[in-house]
């Protein structure tokens, strides 16, 4: 890769003279006599980052690029230099490894000075040592300024991209909200008419029509729940969730929720155990919103727990340094669990754990599909009540089913919330 170049010592000496001005003739003679010259084809790595360095280089002809490794795949250009450019002196001075990679930007000829001659001359010339230190400092300063400029440019690009994404996200949220509103209105009428038709003697007297009407009613109710979820999530995402507080009994909330899923629990042979429901204080909360939040959390436990599993709901009155007196709820399941990399993402909108059984969109079928908004809404409701919510899990494993636990803390005493108003349905 390298070729010795035939240049007389006189040429080397005269080339170094202006670069090392003030250096005694005998020192220039020493450097000229002990140095060699090499020519490197374009693209050749003259020195590599991480390798031990015992040679100081001076570009005699051509150009070099100095790169710093950013990661395993990318490098950043620190500096480019032409004739008279020194490099490699840092590794020699610190008697260590190279801090950067230097490549020939063109066919390049360099003067190579061994460390022994370099140190010998440097030891006799403090002025030269100071000059090298100033050169190194200037190079580092130039590199820092370049890095700052690149960082500022990157930050500007990221800011522009972020603003664009925020606008797109807002437009998407607005579209979803408007669409859900527009679709829910005729759907509510359809649901009402369907319920009325189901009770007519004509339908009740005809078993085949009654079965068809029951299927229409079930699907319409499911669509109605989906649109309500989308609207709830839209309020959460746009910070439009309002809390109208009244005394709420947590046991009553859970008894109401469990009564709605009794049939599902029986069909899938799931066991729900509850403890700690006696002697709890009332919460100052919005009962409908709180019911929704715990309903989504329980549905999540049911959805990701295989048939025959167990769900444990533990409620207790306790006190925390951050919130003071709270009612704490823990919903623990024997389901497939949550991977560590997902634990902070599961409350984001549309996020789901694992692969879904897309053939089923039921809210309580095992791994059933759905809009993926339940945990987002639950978090929004809990935080609107000035509470805390988080999840814990040993990991994700559909074979061992390590399970997961969702924790909720709700303040017992009402915390003043500005602009409180009834939640709009």
CATH code where residue 120 lies: 2.60.120.10
Is 143 a domain residue? no
Shared domain for 207 and 93, answered yes or no, is no
Shared domain for 262 and 324, answered yes or no, is yes
Q: Is residue 420 very low, low, confident or very high in pLDDT (cuts 50, 70, 90)?
A: very low
Residue with tokens 């000035």: 386
| 113 has pLDDT over 70 | yes
| Residue range 8-36: mean pLDDT, rounded | 85
| Residue range 376-395: mean pLDDT, rounded | 91
Shared domain for 196 and 287, answered yes or no, is no
The pLDDT value recorded for residue 367 is 62
d(CA 99, CA 89): 10
| Residue range 110-124: mean pLDDT, rounded | 89
| Residue range 7-17: mean pLDDT, rounded | 76
| 190 has pLDDT over 90 | no
The pLDDT value recorded for residue 45 is 93
The pLDDT value recorded for residue 147 is 67
Shared domain for 172 and 66, answered yes or no, is no
d(CA 28, CA 14): 9
The whole domain housing 210 covers 166-235
Is 136 a domain residue? no
d(CA 274, CA 160): 50
Shared domain for 357 and 318, answered yes or no, is yes
55-59, 98-102, 312-316, 371-375: segment of lowest average pLDDT: 371-375
The pLDDT value recorded for residue 421 is 42
Counted domains in the chain:
3
- pLDDT above 70: percentage of residues in the chain: 81
Q: Is residue 175 very low, low, confident or very high in pLDDT (cuts 50, 70, 90)?
A: low
336 vs 214 pLDDT, higher one: 336
Is 172 a domain residue? yes
- Of residues 222, 223, 224, 214, the one with CA closest to residue 194: 214
Is 253 a domain residue? yes
Shared domain for 231 and 246, answered yes or no, is no
The pLDDT value recorded for residue 204 is 85
| Residue range 346-371: mean pLDDT, rounded | 58
Shared domain for 326 and 402, answered yes or no, is yes
CATH code where residue 387 lies: 3.30.565.10
Q: Which of 8-17, 400-409, 411-420 has the highest mean pLDDT?
A: 400-409
| 323 has pLDDT over 50 | yes
| 263 has pLDDT over 70 | yes
DSSP 184-218: HHHHHHHHHHHHHHHTSHHHHT-HHHHHHHHHHHH
> Is residue 410 exposed (0-12), middle (13-18) or buried (19+ Cβ within 10 Å)?
buried
Shared domain for 247 and 390, answered yes or no, is yes
Q: Is residue 90 very low, low, confident or very high in pLDDT (cuts 50, 70, 90)?
A: confident
The pLDDT value recorded for residue 352 is 57
Q: Please state, rounded to an integer, the average pLDDT across all residues of the chain.
A: 82
Using the 8-state DSSP alphabet, how is residue 239 labeled? T
d(CA 390, CA 322): 15
β-bridge pairing 388-392 and 405-411:
antiparallel
Shared domain for 218 and 250, answered yes or no, is no
Shared domain for 282 and 395, answered yes or no, is yes
Is 10 a domain residue? yes
15-24, 352-361, 364-373: segment of lowest average pLDDT: 352-361
Shared domain for 266 and 328, answered yes or no, is yes
Is 154 a domain residue? no
421 vs 402 pLDDT, higher one: 402
Using the 8-state DSSP alphabet, how is residue 118 labeled? H
Q: What is the pTM of this model?
A: 0.54
What are the residues facing 111 on neighbouring strands?
37, 58
Shared domain for 231 and 247, answered yes or no, is no
The pLDDT value recorded for residue 342 is 87
Is 159 a domain residue? no
Is 230 a domain residue? yes
């Amino acid at each position: 890769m390298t070729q010795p170049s035939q240049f007389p010592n006189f040429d080397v000496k005269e080339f170094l003279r202006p670069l090392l001005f003030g250096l005694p003739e005998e020192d220039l003679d020493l450097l000229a006599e002990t140095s060699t010259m090499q020519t490197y084809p374009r693209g050749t790595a003259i020195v590599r980052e991480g390798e031990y360095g015992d040679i100081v280089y001076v570009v005699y002809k051509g150009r070099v690029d100095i790169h710093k490794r950013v990661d395993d795949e990318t490098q950043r250009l620190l500096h480019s230099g032409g004739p008279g450019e020194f490099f490699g002196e840092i590794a020699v001075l610190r008697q260590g490894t190279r801090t950067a990679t230097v490549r020939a930007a063109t066919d390049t000829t360099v003067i190579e000075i061994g460390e022994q001659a370099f140190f010998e001359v440097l030891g006799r010339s403090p002025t030269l040592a100071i000059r090298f230190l100033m050169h190194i400092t200037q190079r580092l300063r130039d590199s820092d300024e370049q890095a700052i400029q690149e960082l500022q440019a990157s930050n500007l690009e990221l800011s522009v991209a972020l603003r664009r994404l925020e606008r797109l996200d807002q437009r998407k949220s607005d579209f979803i909200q408007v669409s859900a509103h527009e679709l829910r209105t005729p759907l509510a009428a359809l649901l009402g008419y369907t319920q009325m038709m189901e009770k007519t003697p004509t339908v009740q007297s005809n078993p085949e029509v009654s079965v068809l009407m029951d299927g229409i009613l079930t699907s319409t109710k499911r669509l109605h729940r989906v649109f309500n979820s989308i609207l709830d999530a839209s309020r959460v995402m746009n910070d439009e969730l309002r809390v109208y507080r009244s005394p709420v009994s947590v046991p009553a909330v859970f008894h109401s929720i469990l009564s709605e899923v009794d049939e599902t629990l029986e069909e899938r042979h799931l066991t729900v155990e509850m403890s700690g429901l006696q002697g709890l204080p009332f919460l100052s909360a919005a009962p409908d919103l709180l019911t929704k939040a715990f309903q989504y959390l329980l549905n999540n436990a049911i959805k990701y727990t295989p048939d025959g599993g167990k769900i444990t709901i533990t409620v207790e009155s306790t006190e925390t340094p951050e919130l003071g007196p709270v009612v704490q709820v823990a919903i623990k399941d024997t389901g497939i669990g949550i991977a560590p990399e997902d634990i902070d993402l599961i409350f984001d909108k549309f996020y789901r754990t694992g692969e879904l059984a897309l053939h089923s969109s039921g809210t309580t079928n095992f791994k059933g599909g759905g809009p993926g908004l339940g945990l987002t809404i639950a978090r929004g409701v809990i935080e609107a009540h000035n509470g805390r919510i988080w999840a814990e899990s040993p990991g994700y494993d559909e074979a061992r089913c390590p399970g997961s636990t969702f924790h909720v803390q709700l303040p017992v005493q009402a915390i003043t919330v500005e602009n409180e108003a009834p939640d709009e349905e």
